[in-house]
Amino acid sequence: MFLMSCGCVFSDVREMPPALVRSRGLLRSFLCSSLIAGLLACSLAPILVGAAEEEKTESAKAPAPPVASAPAAPATIPLADIATWATAVSNLIGNLTAGAKPSAQIENIAKTLPELSEKLDAQFAATTKSLEAEPTLETLQNEQQLWQAAQLQATGWLNALTLEATKLQDALNRLAELQKLWSSSRASAQTAKAPDPILQQMDATLTAIIDAQAPLQAQRANILNLQSRVAEEATRCGTALQRIADFQQKAVAGILARDAPPIWTINLWSDAVAALPEHAGKIASAYWTDVAEYLRDPRQGGSLHPAILIFLALVFSVARRKIAVWEKSGSDASSAILVFERPYAAALATTLVFVTAPLFFQLPTAVRQLLTIISLVPMLRLVRPKISASIAFVLYACCFLFALDTLRQTFAGIQVIGQAILVGETLAAIIVLYSIRRHYRQIIAARAESSGLMVLKAGRFLLIIVLLVALLAAVAGYTRLARLLTPGILAGGILGLAAFASLRVGGGVVALALRVWPLSSLQMVAHHRELLERRVYRLLIWIAVGGWLVRYLSYLGLLDPAWSLANALLATKLERGSISISISDVLEFFLTVWLAYLLSRFLRFVLQEDVYPRIDLAPGLSYAASSLLNYVILAVGFVAALGVLGVDFSKVSLLAGAFSVGIGFGLQGVVNNFVSGLILLFERPIHVGDTVEVGNLTGTVRRIGIRASVIHTGAGADIIVPNSQLVTDKVTNWTLSDRLRRVDLPVGVVYGADPKKVIELLEQVARAHPDVLREPAPRALFINYGASSTNFELSVWPSHFNQAAEVRSDLAAAVYDAVNAAGMSFPLPHREL
């Protein structure tokens, strides 16, 4: 749709995805890969240097075997070693001859090069003709993509041929050295009057060496010839790309200049009508040629794409049957998987979106245009259930106008016809945008006007203004400006439609994958399926937004300028004195730390949900392992971020030594708490969930952090206790070895009561309580004689650790009733004056 109508579509969606209003700069540098590559390079550098020095040392020595490098002045072969060397040379010649045979890749290059040259001849002529006709930015972008693909292919061939030529040259150099060595040895042997068999063997070896050089020289000549021809094609690709880049700069710079006569110029129409039949025939021929090439050339995926479509259709059909089974059984199913109720539309839309993406396939322009138009049908079927009927016609109109604009691009050679089509589609777009005012009135009547609706109304008004400017520009002959505005709005809407359809399919695939084996067997999926689905869906939203932005800029022909501008901004350096840092370095630093944090959270989540429950671990060990893993990943991530920032670690070590003195004085408390936290994690005297008593503080350990731990008291307060206090002070852990806790209740009875009966009575009351364990059994003891009472103590073990206070209270009340019922009494407090 138009950008505005897409906003209306999403505003009327019955199940709204999260908002897509924020944009984020794209960083195409993969930090982790760069870090790993840098570390590997640093670690391999000493090895490579050592190997190079060793090679230099060995090259200075006299060569013993034939395969070694020849010395500056060749030595002669001793007569006693002639037979051994002859055998070695024979084997060497066999290996060199076998290794010098052209590989399958070289044969394929020789076979395919004429076809590539013919293709590039036609493509260069078409590009030259297109550039002479003042092409649009999107046409230039398409031409650039085709030439970039050809340049990539030619460069790959050139590298392969260079390696092959180098290998052949090395083989010829080795044979030349052997020929010189054996010639010198032959002359020396003849002077020394060696036996005839030795001389004959040396002559045979020399003949074999000379004969082996001929095929290698012929093969090298063929390779060099191929290399020269491929280099010419690579140069032609570079020339075409440079011309396209020059035209792109010219088109962008002259966007506000008039490049065509006004549409009402009469003589242009007569010439256009006369040239129309011939131009239509050329268009049909060009389309047919591109389609035939697409079907014939396997590199363009003409046979792969139907296989992808069939595979996805089968998978999505199975998913539809699975969903039907779930619905009959009444199991909970996400609404996201309902997209598979139309499996063939989902399969066709997914295949065409994937196929038409320039990142994956370099299709001919005509084929990409046809497949893009075909993809509108399945995408509309996927989106239609999520929009209201009142704006469905807007989607259809937008798709029709986009197809009409694709037709307009084919009339680049007849300026006035393309100009007229542009005026017509711009006027139709204005009418469509104006007609949806009735939709806003319906929404306002149904509910109060929200800020989001006001933004959509403002966007609609702005788009109408832009289209009016495009209409006037197209009529007056400012076609570059008009071609940027109207097709840009249409393309943005269609790409938004494709992004939303892809998002629906992607969300359905994720929801389905989380409900079938093997992911459904994971505990983290069983317990947190909705959470995982939301997080992955949010990631898919950002991918869809990024894909939409890249495709939109590519369609407008502004991708390379925008990327160059972004690189220039990111490369801007902030300098102060000897310190120099770029914006990209800062962003990469924070991105690396953030990725390390996300990785730590995800790994701890997986361990907690799916690893620890499956293995037998001691209490608290899982928390210690997760905490240690968190610290390690964050530390490695921070060091990696410093490396990305360009910090010299040799200087950092010196600074760390200097700072350690300051840390020893100023931050010794923090360091003490950090080390104490590590002791708590490794020694594990306290676990998360233990009930501890520190001084006059009693509570449950909630968390053991880097600097301090959190203890939750019975009063509901969270007390932050430094880790050093838990290590150095006296700490009572009530639950370190078990969850049992004894409750002691002191009881005083007036003199005259039989102590044995009192003990029996107290134990009987304790055994009658339902929350008192039978083993260890309750026990009452006669403690001492008081001033006005005999003192006893009742000791019991509650069945639940957290019920100690309740059990103590219940026993106190029950003992009071039992003592009174037995005719005994408690002493009253009194004071003698």
Domains of the chain by residue range: 3-25+262-566, 62-253, 574-647, 669-737, 743-821
Structure token pair of residue 693: 């008593």
Cα–Cα distance measured from residue 695 to residue 731, given in angstroms and rounded to the nearest whole number: 7
Sign of CA dihedral 342, 344, 345, 347: positive
Summarize the confidence of residues 207-232 as an average pLDDT.
Answer: 90
> Containing H/E element for 700?
strand 697-704
Q: pLDDT for 718-772, tens place per residue? A: 999 999 888 888 999 988 888 888 999 999 999 989 999 999 999 999 999 999 9
Cα–Cα distance measured from residue 680 to residue 577, given in angstroms and rounded to the nearest whole number: 45
Summarize the confidence of residues 484-494 as an average pLDDT.
Answer: 90
Summarize the confidence of residues 194-219 as an average pLDDT.
Answer: 88
At residue 783, what are phi and psi to the nearest 5 degrees?
-90, -60
Residue keyed to tokens 């940027």: 484
What Rg, from alpha-carbon coordinates, does the chain have?
A: 42
Q: Is the pLDDT of residue 58 over 70?
A: no
CA nearest to 775, candidates 807, 797, 743:
797
Structure token pair of residue 54: 């060793």
Summarize the confidence of residues 687-693 as an average pLDDT.
Answer: 87
Residue 233, number of CB atoms within 10 A of its CB: 22
Asked if 499 and 552 count as a contact pair (C-beta separation under 8 A), the reply is no
Sign of CA dihedral 26, 30, 32, 35: negative
What angle in degrees, to the nearest 10, is found between the helix axes of 621-645 and 31-59?
A: 70
Asked if 490 and 425 count as a contact pair (C-beta separation under 8 A), the reply is yes
What is the per-residue pLDDT for 416?
A: 83
What is the per-residue pLDDT for 500?
A: 92
Q: pLDDT for 238-255, tens place per residue? A: 999 999 888 877 777 777
> Containing H/E element for 713?
strand 708-713
Asked if 352 and 369 count as a contact pair (C-beta separation under 8 A), the reply is no
Q: Is the pLDDT of residue 274 over 90?
A: no
Cα–Cα distance measured from residue 227 to residue 220, given in angstroms and rounded to the nearest whole number: 10
Q: pLDDT for 325-380, tens place per residue? A: 888 887 766 788 889 999 999 999 999 999 988 777 778 878 888 999 999 999 99
Q: Identify the architecture of domain 743-821 in CATH.
A: 2-Layer Sandwich (3.30)
Q: pLDDT for 774-788, tens place per residue? A: 998 999 999 999 888
What fold, for 669-737? SH3 type barrels. (2.30.30)
- Give CB contacts under 8 A, 24+ apart, made by 513-516: 515/326, 515/333, 515/334, 515/337, 516/322
Structure token pair of residue 699: 């509570």
Q: Which is it for strands 731-733 and 779-785: parallel, antiparallel or unpaired?
A: unpaired
What is the per-residue pLDDT for 385?
A: 85
pLDDT band at 138 (very low <50, low <70, confident <90, very high): low
Residue 12, number of CB atoms within 10 A of its CB: 17
What is the per-residue pLDDT for 442?
A: 63
Q: Is the pLDDT of residue 37 over 50?
A: no
Structure token pair of residue 187: 């002359």
Sign of CA dihedral 660, 663, 669, 674: negative
Alpha helices in 714-779 (DSSP H): 723-728, 755-768
What is the per-residue pLDDT for 32?
A: 35
CA nearest to 505, candidates 349, 609, 332, 723:
349
Query: 704 by DSSP, 3-state: which?
Result: strand
pLDDT band at 65 (very low <50, low <70, confident <90, very high): very low
- Which range (129-143, 636-650, 753-767) has the least confidence? 129-143
Structure token pair of residue 128: 């030259």
CA nearest to 451, candidates 15, 14, 19, 24:
19
Structure token pair of residue 158: 């050139």
Cα–Cα distance measured from residue 114 to residue 330, given in angstroms and rounded to the nearest whole number: 64
Summarize the confidence of residues 486-504 as an average pLDDT.
Answer: 92
What is the per-residue pLDDT for 771?
A: 92
Residue 717, number of CB atoms within 10 A of its CB: 10
Which residues are within 8 A (CB) of 757 and not within 5 positions of it... i.e. 6 or more apart? 822
Summarize the confidence of residues 610-620 as an average pLDDT.
Answer: 82
Asked if 136 and 412 count as a contact pair (C-beta separation under 8 A), the reply is yes
Q: Is the pLDDT of residue 22 over 80?
A: no
Cα–Cα distance measured from residue 217 to residue 487, given in angstroms and rounded to the nearest whole number: 58
Alpha helices in 646-691 (DSSP H): 649-666, 668-683
Structure token pair of residue 311: 């595979």
